[in-house]
A and B are shown apart, each in its own frame.
Chain A
């Protein structure tokens, strides 16, 4: 008697319970074993690259936030660094330290979200709640610094939006202590947990050569044993002065990726602590005696006392763009062709007013010299590269974002073929696919 079997097609459709976003996997199954996988992406295509061609250089910032939306400050920094490389601008040290601090804060939130969500799908609901609570502390700090929790748009061409508040270092130290406790608790719950290890150990294995052939970077590549980190290979901002380790795995399976991410959270916290020690001095806010009330300032201007305005500084809220001149100089470059002048200069001198006009008026704006540049930063998932083409105009000609999570997604068939359905969940969780970045 002969029997005939067929393989069975299962569609893990665009909407599935793993809170990772929208992706479609068409699996060919034989029983529970996966024979082949077909990955379909593009369900969140939001035309980032096309929008970037229609917006001015600074206006592209909100669109870059929404690329990798769990670590938006890294995308902001990456885009600004690429444009500044083309324009030949270096921002002052305090601004560079601030960009590093915010990038590492974003990296912490990225890894916390990834581990929390993957753990939840494997059944560890408590770990999700602990890590999201830890992420919440970090969001509150990001809110204090930048003004928004998630979509921050913090950096500008030529600097950052504003300096950090006076109590920021103190709050940061407390928050880092709390995050360390939460990560230690999750570690105790997961790392030697029999159930977790059975699901995650030995699944989703990829070899070094395959990972490099697919162009995979980031924790995925480091779990296979290649210690490639853009912060070490091509140091940018102030990473060459900071002491941190790059955690490297050996087997290339999901467990190694989980351990790499946990270790990277700790390393990011070390980087933030060093930055807070090393950051050059700058005044957070001006001394009271130097400040006059905003109404007095306005009255002086109306009465024609504009000559005196140059000697006084208006007491304006620090989150207003172009606040006190001394403050801005610490975190933004003084290059007048890209950075807005401070309010005192705008209202106090004709050169400042013209400078302000030229940056803000339609079809004037910041002009970046014609040319191309590529800049790579280390995102949460790997090498996040921006390839900028400028035609010398007030808006980009072409912005290409090299998404780090496209590479593991293209390698998913290699990771999943031959394994069980139950291995899809930890493997897909460890890819940390962020649809905003994948589909742009």
Chain B
């Protein structure tokens, strides 16, 4: 696909910035929760460390309606095709968050049944290591993701 560089004028840059602003403050996460990190995900989205401040409160349980795929917890070989299929079903723009060290690199599960990092299967935008990461780390990671969403926005083209 032609991704040629087109010089952007003031109007399109502001439009891209506005769209980036809108996208980053209304994230619809798809929580692909498998394991222990799901407990920290629950804590993060509950009332003490609130995900609603980021506009990411309401999880969308259908991949076609979501834009942030949060892969939370260990991915084993048995569920890896399911993860791939869900990623394929999401519409762009989409971002992937690897939550927890099992999704980043496999964690300490160096064995026959764990995928050693989901970036072997799907492209990842944000890595949050930790076993499990504290909610403060998750929130910092989400803020970094928001910056990325803002910068990445190519307007209507993406």
Task: Report A-B touching, CB under 8 Å.
Answer: yes
- Which residue numbers of A lie inside 8 Å of B, CB to CB? 13-17, 19, 21-22, 42-47, 50-51, 62, 65-66, 69-70, 113, 117, 128-129, 132-133, 135-136, 139, 149-151, 435-436
Q: Which residues of B contact A435 (CB under 8 A)?
A: 34-35
The answer to whether B39 and A46 have CB atoms under 8 Å apart is no
The answer to whether B76 and A21 have CB atoms under 8 Å apart is no
**A/B pair count, beta carbons within 8 Å:** 93
Per-position binary interface string of chain B over residues 15-46, scored 1 when its CB falls under 8 Å from any chain A CB and 0 otherwise? 00000000000000001111110111011001
The answer to whether B42 and A46 have CB atoms under 8 Å apart is no
Q: Which residues of A contact B112 (CB under 8 A)?
A: 47, 50
Pairs across A and B, CB under 8 Å, 8 listed:
A14-B82, A19-B38, A43-B76, A46-B74, A46-B76, A132-B48, A136-B48, A151-B36
A113 to B43, CA, bound (A): 10
A113 to B35, CA, bound (A): 14
Please judge, given known A-B contacts A128-B46, A129-B47, A150-B132, whether A21 and B38 are in contact too, CB under 8 Å: yes
Please judge, given known A-B contacts A19-B42, A69-B36, A133-B48, whether A44 and B74 are in contact too, CB under 8 Å: yes
Indicate whether B124 reaches chain A with its CB closer than 8 angstroms. Answer: no
Q: Could you tell me the distance in whole angstroms from the C-beta of B122 to the nearest C-beta in chain A?
A: 14
Q: Which residues of B contact A44 (CB under 8 A)?
A: 34-35, 73-74, 76, 79
Q: Which residues of A contact B33 (CB under 8 A)?
A: 19, 21
Q: Could you tell me the distance in whole angstroms from the C-beta of A85 to the nearest C-beta in chain B?
A: 27
Q: Which residues of B contact A133 (CB under 8 A)?
A: 46-48
How many residues of B sit at the interface, in one of the four size bands? 20 to 34
The answer to whether A46 and B109 have CB atoms under 8 Å apart is yes
Please judge, given known A-B contacts A13-B82, A15-B86, A151-B132, whether A113 and B42 are in contact too, CB under 8 Å: yes
The answer to whether B43 and A132 have CB atoms under 8 Å apart is yes
Q: Could you tell me the distance in whole angstroms from the C-beta of B141 to the nearest C-beta in chain A?
A: 17
Q: Give 18 new A-B contacts, CB below 8 A, not counting A43-B79, A113-B42.
A: A17-B59, A19-B42, A21-B35, A43-B76, A45-B113, A66-B36, A69-B36, A113-B39, A132-B42, A133-B46, A139-B43, A149-B132, A149-B134, A151-B36, A151-B131, A435-B35, A436-B35, A436-B36
A151 to B74, CA, bound (A): 14
Indicate whether B108 reaches chain A with its CB closer than 8 angstroms. Answer: yes
The answer to whether B78 and A43 have CB atoms under 8 Å apart is yes
A252 to B43, CA, bound (A): 31
